[in-house]
Chains A and B, each alone.
Chain A
Amino acid sequence: MELLILAVKAFIVLHVALGLGAVCTWIERKGSALIQDRVGANRAGAYWYPSNPLLWPIAPFIRIAGMLGIINTLLNDAVKALLKEDFVPEGTSVFMHALGPFMAALPVFLAYAVVPLAPDFTIFGYHVQAQLVRIDTGLLFILAMGSLAVYGVVFAGWTGNNKFSLLGALRASAQMISYELAMGIVFVTLIIGYGTLDLYAIVESQQDGWGINPLVHPTGWLSFIILFIVGMAETKRGPFDMPESESELVAGYFTEYSGMKFLLFWLGEFAEIALFALIISLFFFGGWHIPFVELPEGMWWAALVGHGVLMAKVLFFCVLQIVIRWSLPRFRYDQLMSLGWKGLLPLSLLNVMVTAAIHI
């Protein structure tokens, strides 16, 4: 029975990750169109008039989804990518070439395993934790998985057998490692502030709904801003998309990828956007807590409401990242490095000192 619950939970968590990634893709598609005065994807499925009468009841919903670009984003892209030729450049290791996208996407999905998605609840006499595994060192696990993702990028750039991929991979690895320093130090600040590494305990300590509340967590805003910037740099998006800057490096480290492998990079990237939005909501914005509203503990419906609240917060931060990505030009590599090393790193060190001084 325990095993069954674990399997069901693994299934749900994986689909939350995939679903968030898919929703992010859709928001990116239609949101960018909205920002740029375009229409965006609105054709695939919009004219679906099936001849089979049995399909008529669902046809209007499919048509509406098609008009909103959902069919295009979720179905057509995936099918198209699966049917494409899987191109492997000459003179490279086929195994390592295939390992690249997996190593880029897998750590992101693994990181979801320790993230709590709703408060604990009791159903049919079973006490369920809405989290795949509750480990005491959840925070460190996320940091570790974030560091692993760099291998995928390096493999991809190296096995591309192409100078553009190589340059992109070098930029990406340097960028990720530099920004992970600041991220690690922000995590130290959080550990000092919350006194625990357990993500569930961190969320539960924000009962009033605002982890960022200056009375509770004096340097919360600073930590939040640093973590948000670092998060965008870690996902290699927004103004930090140096590794794949399409105007100079064609497509950066995944220049030589096609089909589903190419899509896997994007899926990993969008899942990572959602992951960062998720941990920011959990660390600073109370996770599933609603300000000034107390949900009853242990009720299944309360967990459902809490999950909805958490997802709303997550989507807000996803949208925020996407809006930033579509409004700003990108940095240059050296400017990015100086922002990381000269700006964010000293700031996060100062942050940790101040937090430590307050808590001692």
Chain B
Amino acid sequence: MNNNEKSLLNVDYGIGGITTHLRPREEGDDLHSETMVLNLGPAHPATHGTVRIVAELSGEKIVDADVELGFLHRGFEKMCETVDYNQVMPYADRLNYVSPIINNVGWCLTVEKLLEIEVPKRAQYIRVIMSELSRISDHLTCLGASAMELGAFTVMLYLMQAREYIWELIEDVTGARLTISYGRVGGLKADLPEGFAEKMHKALDGTRDQLDKADRLLTRNRIFIDRMCDVGTISKEDAIAYGCTGPFGRASGVDYDVRRDYPYSSYEDFSFEVPLGEKGDNYDRFLVRYEEIFQSMRICEQAIKNLPTGPICVDDPHIVLNPKEGVYSSIDGMINHFELVIFGVKPPQGDVYIPVEGGNGELGFYTVSDGTGKPYKVHVRPPCFVHMGTMKKMLLGSNIADVVPIFGMINMIGGECDR
């Protein structure tokens, strides 16, 4: 597959200094044949993040590929150093914007670990419910988008309808649909609204219906299976070597789920299964994501059933804003409020890494605190970025038409990958 040694010409075709190799005529070639370089992206219908794939084609086969990332780099990590810990929340929303609550929860847990506090049980349970709802919406988007890219546009709209149920629910709780900023250091922005349990059951039932439709249209569809099976295969060893986590790694048989192996936010209270794939191809990824949606629903239902009562924030005025009555009526409350608004939460010096199970895999926040109100350094471990590393390996030798499902099942989210 690697023709680089045999190449005669290195052609720099201009943009970004990427070179390509014209393949000279070889023994056994009937006709003089050259490869063609096809530039997919950054603006291409298939690249629903902003990514560029420079593919060298021999006919329809990809003989060489170069995946370029970073088009959506916004300096998330650097921006975090300029604001206080709670103000990072809107930035964190914009990492994986399909499941923003998971990012919020990850960031909150990181800061709470620095502060060495634990939020009340009710807040933990609500965080779990909202995280799992986000995970469902994330998986629905991924499955829908990859179905659309294979031409099954109808399935995508069915799944978008299901996502709409979930997002209406999220809007009910947080007041926003996409960038919700629901988490707070030491708790949550608000409690669940009244009648949430019934609404949630209704939304989950609607989602099940839509998933059932999608299942009937896709899962046993011969064309779909042909397109997905044995495409983009990553073995278990490779998956571990590349550091693949989440549904992507589990489809390759890597039995690792942060929720189960390093439980956070009371995940140890819930029973759920971690679906595993065997072959590590696109079809396995599809099925693993499909099954995870149902597992997430299971967790949601358990959590809402056993939802404890109590406060949703820690009772510490140095971390969480006092109620307004306290601020207006007591000098302590006034001072605490002022301190918190002006200087922010001040965790002690130290550094911490907290992983959570994001929609696409292990989402980790590494934070260094120097004792002031602003983080000294923030680093995010985005799952997509790691998974994109496997892209070239999967692309080589596959068809040009396979670029789309492979890329779709990685489910690269530009905001998270490029930060």
Known: A37-B157, A38-B157. A333 touches B60 (CB 8 A): yes
What residues of B have a CB within 8 angstroms of the CB of A327 in the complex?
Answer: 152, 154, 217
Of chain B, the residue at the smallest CB distance from A331 is B223
User: Is A334 a contact partner of B60 (Cβ separation < 8 A)?
Assistant: yes
Question: Would A248 and B403 count as touching, CB distance under 8 A?
Answer: yes
Q: Are A250 and B60 in contact (CB under 8 A)?
A: no
From residue 137 to 170 of chain A, which have CB atoms closer than 8 A to chain B? 163-164, 167
Q: Chain B residues with Cβ under 8 A from A43's Cβ?
A: none
Kindly supply a per-residue 1/0 record for chain B positions 397-419, scoring 1 wherever the CB is within 8 Å of any chain A CB and 0 otherwise: 00111111000000000000000
Q: Which of B221, B226, B401, B403 has the most C-beta atoms of chain A within 10 angstroms of its own C-beta?
A: B401
User: Does B151 lie within 8 Å of A330, measured CB to CB?
Assistant: yes
Q: Confirm or deny: B36 has a beta carbon within 8 angstroms of a beta carbon on chain A.
A: yes
Enumerate chain B residues within 8 angstroms of A164, measured Cβ to Cβ. 38
User: Are B223 and A250 within 8 A (Cβ)?
Assistant: no
Interface presence of B147 (CB below 8 A): yes
B154→A326 contact, CB < 8 A: yes
A163 touches B36 (CB 8 A): yes
Chain B interface: which of A212-220, A238-246, A261-269, A347-355? A238-246
Task: Please report the C-alpha to C-alpha distance between residue A333 and residue B40 in the assembled complex, in whole angstroms.
Answer: 18
Q: Contact between A248 and B227 (Cβ–Cβ < 8 Å)?
A: no
13 contacts between A and B (CB under 8 A): A35-B154, A36-B157, A37-B157, A167-B400, A241-B151, A247-B45, A247-B149, A326-B153, A328-B151, A330-B151, A331-B227, A333-B401, A334-B60
Q: Quick one: CB contact mask for B13-40 with A, threshold 8 Å, 1 for yes?
A: 0000000000000000000000010111
Shortest distance in angstroms between B33's beta carbon and chain A's nearest beta carbon?
14
Which listed residue, A242, A248, A333, touches B404 by the CB 8 Å rule?
A: A248
Query: Given the interface contacts A37-B161, A163-B36, A331-B223, does A248 sit within 8 Å of B154 by beta carbon?
Result: no
Distance (whole angstroms) from the CB of B176 to the closest CB of chain A: 25
Closest to A251 in B: B45
User: Is A332's CB within 8 Å of the partner chain B?
Assistant: yes
Pairwise interchain contact B44-A250, C-beta atoms closer than 8 A: yes
Cα–Cα, bound, A334→B231 (Å) = 13
- Tell me the A residues contacting B by CB distance below 8 Å: 32, 35-38, 163-164, 167, 239, 241-242, 245-248, 250, 326-335
Report B135-177 residues with CB < 8 Å from chain A CB.
Answer: 147-155, 157-158, 161
Q: In the complex, are the beta carbons of A36 and B154 less than 8 A apart?
A: yes
Question: Does B224 belong to the interface (CB within 8 Å)?
Answer: yes
Q: Report the nearest A residue to B47, measured CB to CB.
A: A247
Closest to B37 in A: A163
Contacts of B399 in A (CB 8 A): 332-334
B163 to chain A, nearest CB (A): 13
- Tell me, rounded to whole Å, the shortest Cβ–Cβ distance linking A322 to chain B: 12
Highest count of chain A CB atoms <10 Å: which of B36, B147, B226: B226
B287 CB-CB contact with A under 8 Å: no
- Tell whether, in the assembled complex, residue B154 and residue A239 are in contact, meaning their CB atoms are under 8 Å apart: no
Please tell me if the beta carbons of A248 and B401 are within 8 angstroms of each other in the complex. Answer: yes
Chain B's nearest CB lies how many Å from the CB of A168? 11
B218 at the interface (CB under 8 A from A): yes
Nearest B residue to A166, CB-CB: B36
Query: How far does the alpha carbon of A71 sit from the alpha carbon of B221 in the complex, in Å?
Result: 36
Q: How far apart are the CA atoms of A182 and B400 in the complex, in Å?
A: 26
What residues of chain A lie closer than 8 Å to B158, measured between beta carbons? 36-37
Q: What is the distance, in angstroms, from B88's C-beta to the closest C-beta of chain A? A: 35
Residues from chain B with Cβ under 8 Å of A246 in the complex: 45
A36-B158, A246-B45 known; A239+B153 contact, CB < 8 A: no
Q: Chain A's nearest CB lies how many Å from the CB of B72?
A: 20
Contact residue among B46, B155, B221, B226 (Cβ-Cβ distance under 8 Å from A247): B46
Say yes or no: A247-B404 contact (C-beta < 8 A), given A327-B154, A329-B152, A332-B399: yes
Partner of A36, one of B39, B150, B153, B223: B153
Residues on B with beta carbons closer than 8 Å to the beta carbon of A247: 45-46, 148-151, 404
Q: Specify the chain A residue showing the minimal Cβ separation from B147.
A: A329
Q: How far is the CB of B63 from chain A (nearest CB, A)?
A: 15
Given contacts A38-B157, A333-B401, 4 further A-B contacts (CB under 8 A): A36-B153, A248-B46, A331-B226, A335-B223
How close is A231's CB to chain B, nearest CB, in angstroms?
17
Cα of A36 to Cα of B404 in the assembled complex, Å: 22
A239 to B404, CA, bound (A): 16
Task: Find A329's partner among B38, B39, B46, B151 (CB 8 Å cutoff).
Answer: B151
Q: How far is the CB of A290 from chain B (nearest CB, A)?
A: 34
Which residues of B lie under 8 Å from residue A242 when comparing CB positions?
A: 401
Known: A163-B36, A250-B45. A332 touches B402 (CB 8 A): yes
- In the bound complex, residues from chain A placing their C-beta under 8 Å from that of B148 are 247
Q: Complex Cα distance A241/B153, Å?
A: 13
**B residues within 8 A CB of A163?**
36, 38-39
Asked if B226 and A332 sit within 8 Å, CB to CB, the answer is yes
Contact B157 A328 (CB under 8 A): no
Chain A residues near B154 (CB-CB < 8 A): 32, 35-36, 326-327
Contacts of B401 in A (CB 8 A): 242, 245, 248, 332-333
CB neighbors of A among B374-407 (8 A): 399-404
Chain A residues near B400: list those with CB within 8 A.
Answer: 167, 248
**B-side contacts of A328, CB under 8 Å:** 151-152, 221, 223
Which of B46, B223, B227 is packed against the most chain A CB atoms within 10 Å?
B223
Which chain B positions have C-beta within 8 A of A333? 60, 399, 401
Contact residues in A for B155 (Cβ distance below 8 Å): 329
Contact yes or no, B221 A329, CB < 8 A? yes
CB distance from A225 to the nearest CB of B (A): 15
The 7 closest A-B pairs by CB, nearest first: A330-B151, A329-B150, A329-B152, A247-B149, A36-B157, A329-B151, A332-B401
Q: Which of B149, B151, B158 has the most CB of A within 10 A?
A: B151
What is the CA–CA distance of A57 and B306 in the complex, to the nearest angstrom?
65
B39 contacts across to A, CB distance below 8 A: 163
User: Which residue of chain A is the closest to B39 with respect to CB atoms?
Assistant: A163
Contact: A332 with B227, CB < 8 Å? yes
Tell me, rounded to whole Å, the shortest Cβ–Cβ distance linking B206 to chain A: 12
A331 vs B400: C-alpha distance when bound (angstroms):
13
Nearest CB in chain B: distance from A49 CB, A:
33
| Minimum CB distance partner of B151 in chain A | A330
For the complex, what is the distance from the CA of A89 to the CA of B124, rounded to whole Å?
59
Could you tell me if B157 and A245 are in contact, using CB atoms closer than 8 angstroms?
Answer: no
Nearest residue in A to B231 (C-beta to C-beta)?
A332
